Structure 1
Amino acid sequence: MICIDASRFGHLEPTGVEVYSNYLLPRLVARAERDHIPLQLLAPLPKDISSAYAKPVVIPGKRLWTYLHLSLYLFRERHRVDTLFVPSHVLPFVLPKKSVITIHDLAFRRLPESYSWGQRLLLHFAAKRAVRHASQIICISESTRKDLEKFYGCPKEKLRLIPLGFDREAFLASFVVRPRSFLDKWGLVPEKYFLYIGRIEEKKNIAHLVRAFLQTKDTGWKLVLVGKPGVGFPLIAELLDSPEAKRRIIHTGYLPADDAYSLLAYAGTFVFPSRFEGFGIPVLEAQALDVPVVCSRAGALPEVAGNAALYMDNTEGSLIRLLEGVQTPDFARQDYIAAGRENIARFSWERCAEEVWSTLT
């Protein structure tokens, strides 16, 4: 029997691991039915996912659910469980013969200043245990695979590269694009503004983006930042408080999906200057909406954006040139849109699920 940690499945506002679980688990259930292999989906709360071969099992508990409550359950069921799959980064203390875990990134090693010492300690402990005790580690990018080798000396044979998927049709069906008049609220003109969606924090290099944008020629384009404040926001808030920033930059705060993706659909360019990414789904979302992308080369972003993005380096001059370049009549907008469409076709949740399933079985 295969047990899957389903604790991250079904979240209403999914990010990162939750998105991975939401797309992957139903496809693993379908493969269990196809191959007649029983599954148990383990979680602290009831989950709306089941089939003839997939049985949801509620394991009550709140604090340290994986380390305590899941471990106790696996100990009790140790004679029945053959394989455990954990889609996030924390292995329980009790493991069956085969345990597979997905590690999405090691951002806490690349950008330690963005994490508290307590967070770094827990993440380091989890990664070290995974390298030592997991039968196989799924890496969602080559960047993560290399980091596991570099920082933890993980043997190559234990690592399996399985990129995340992307489903353009499902993505486009997940929200409703507002009419163009929706932009009037912020005084925006379609295709005449740069957009960033994500946490407004130092790890995402937002201060760098704001400084660079304010040094570009004022051609009427705006910079729109969508997202909640994060680590390092006070410095960013100071930059946004200048008279010129108040005139040229809009910080909307958090927006629901319909509003955020409507802004993306009408954007001139999506800008993603992150200092590190384990993957980079927002890049694929922009390309799915036919919006050109400017991004950094940090972490896995070159793997994900491919040849369909304009890449900045770490200097403000580089970003300034790119931001000014996309505003000119010579910018090959349609070429980048076409390249983006080709690029997202490289990513498939069905292929991702099939490769994960083959790792489990």
Structure 2
Amino acid sequence: MVIAVNTRLLLWNKMSGIGWYTYHTLKHLTHMHPEHRFIFLFDRSFDDQFIFGSNVKPVVVYPPARHPFLYYVWFNFSIVPFVKKYKADVFFSPDGFLSLNLGNIPSIPVIHDINFEHFPQDFPFWSRQYYCHYFRKYAHLAKRIVTVSEFSKNDIAATYKVSPDKIDVVYNGASDEFRPVGEDIKAEVRTKYTQGQEYFLYVGDLLPRKNVVRMILAYEAYRKSADSRIKMLIVGKSMLFTSEIMDVCSRSPYREDIIFAGRLPQHELVKVMGSAKALIYVSLFEGFGLPIVEAMKAHVPVITSNVSSMPEIAADAALLVDPLSVDSIKNAMERIDKDGQLRQLLIQKGKQRSEQFTWMNTSKGVWESIEKALSS
């Protein structure tokens, strides 16, 4: 079998969530199935470490697709002759984008979520126009759809009016790099980022739907009510819409204790996660919420939202809060800080819960979806 794969997000030292999904899933798939050939379609020069075996054929197809107009060109014109040249039996797209011009070649997108349908304000104008127009088409064109939670499956089926029977739920994995760290590492991290103090941690982009403003307000309320010096460490890339976050932070009496670390490389994030008092992940909408599982693997207790996919992923291994309520988030911070027995219970339950989320399981689920697409 020949499997053509969209690998344009495999960019060394520049990978975000879907890039890491692509990396781990394809690494396992290519190792699990040496009998099949994988055509990796890159949109620029690639790092050799992405060529996971002799069954991988890398192909660079220009132009680089990093703008909606170039998405259209790359997927609908640039890659088409290469997919056909190598006689691909199936086209697999880990970032959800498809070509409308592959004829009878079955396509399988991974549509992680459709947050752009619900929070269009988080996206630049042309990007949200493209996503909202074409992902509906992709959902109908796809032979099968892979998504990462039951929540996302139901959302895609309802929003795009496609049968839930063609949507396969395959949970994300989380890297085994996330694990408990020793007291020496914790001391090193706290000295580097928080003047030696313990800290609550947020990991993610600084977008409105990530609810960072309410998280900061909850932290401020917690500090006012508690005799505590715990700081708030925020790790993530600044986006186009961070002015409200910065305004709230600048007016806080605890602004010196709210630290923005920016985006961190994976090896540093592993240490920062493992050294946290707790992960605070109170987003308004997630298709999965990978930091939840990464924290659990690091034996760090989690506070997360009771909406969208987050209660599904966290189950009973996290404190669930109303993300629209500053008091609800603040109260959870207080409980994590004051109740050592609760912290240990959450750590133990999180450890057990996180064992279900492995990249091997993800790859097996994706392969089952590919087989279904080819057999139907």
Under a length normalisation based on structure 1, what TM-score does the superposition of the two structures give?
A: 0.90
Q: Deviations over 1:293-324 (max 9, x none)?
A: 00112321112212110011121121121111
Q: Residue 353 in 1 paired to residue 363 in 2? A: yes
2:92 maps to a residue whose letter is F
Report what 2:174 is aligned to: 166
Q: Deviations over 1:181-222 (max 9, x none)?
A: 4423444446x3211122223221010011111112242222
Report what 2:261 is aligned to: 252
1:14 maps to a residue whose letter is M
Deviation at residue 62 of structure 1 after TM alignment: 2.0
Report what 2:98 is aligned to: 91
Report what 1:28 is aligned to: 29
Q: Residue 214 in 1 paired to residue 220 in 2? A: yes
Contact 2:220 2:252 in 1 (8 A): no
Unmatched segments (≥5 aa) in structure 2? 372-376
Report what 1:122 is aligned to: 130
Cα distance in 1 between the residues matched to 2:218 and 2:320: 15
Change (3 A) 1:227 1:51: closer
Cα distance in 2 between the residues matched to 1:298 and 1:242: 29
2:110 alignment partner, SS class:
strand
2:297 maps to a residue whose letter is A
Contact 1:136 1:159 in 2 (8 A): yes
Report what 2:60 is aligned to: 58
Cα distance in 2 between the residues matched to 1:355 and 1:187: 41
Q: Residue 336 in 1 paired to residue 337 in 2? A: no
Deviation at residue 179 of structure 1 after TM alignment: 5.7
User: Equivalent residues in 2 for 1:1-361 (5 A)?
Assistant: 1-33=2-34, 36-44=35-43, 45-48=45-48, 49-63=51-65, 64=70, 65-76=74-85, 80-95=87-102, 96-168=104-176, 170-172=177-179, 178=185, 180-189=187-196, 192-216=198-222, 217-220=225-228, 221-242=230-251, 244-313=253-322, 314-329=324-339, 331-361=341-371
1:241 alignment partner, SS class:
helix
2:95 alignment partner, SS class:
coil
Change (3 A) 1:60 1:117: closer
Deviation at residue 250 of structure 1 after TM alignment: 2.2
Change (3 A) 1:103 1:269: same
2:292 alignment partner, SS class:
helix
Tell which deviates more after alignment, 264-273 or 46-55: 46-55
Cα distance in 1 between the residues matched to 2:62 and 2:47: 13
Contact 2:179 2:299 in 1 (8 A): no
1:268 maps to a residue whose letter is K
Q: Cα RMSD (Å) of the superposition?
A: 2.3
Change (3 A) 1:20 1:254: closer
Deviation at residue 50 of structure 1 after TM alignment: 4.7
Deviation at residue 353 of structure 1 after TM alignment: 0.9
Q: Deviations over 1:129-158 (max 9, x none)?
A: 212211111111111111111111011222
Contact 2:75 2:98 in 1 (8 A): yes
Cα distance in 2 between the residues matched to 1:311 and 1:40: 42
Contact 2:179 2:270 in 1 (8 A): no
Cα distance in 1 between the residues matched to 2:267 and 2:37: 38
Q: Percent identity?
A: 24
Contact 2:39 2:58 in 1 (8 A): yes
Contact 1:10 1:22 in 2 (8 A): no
Q: How many residues align?
A: 353
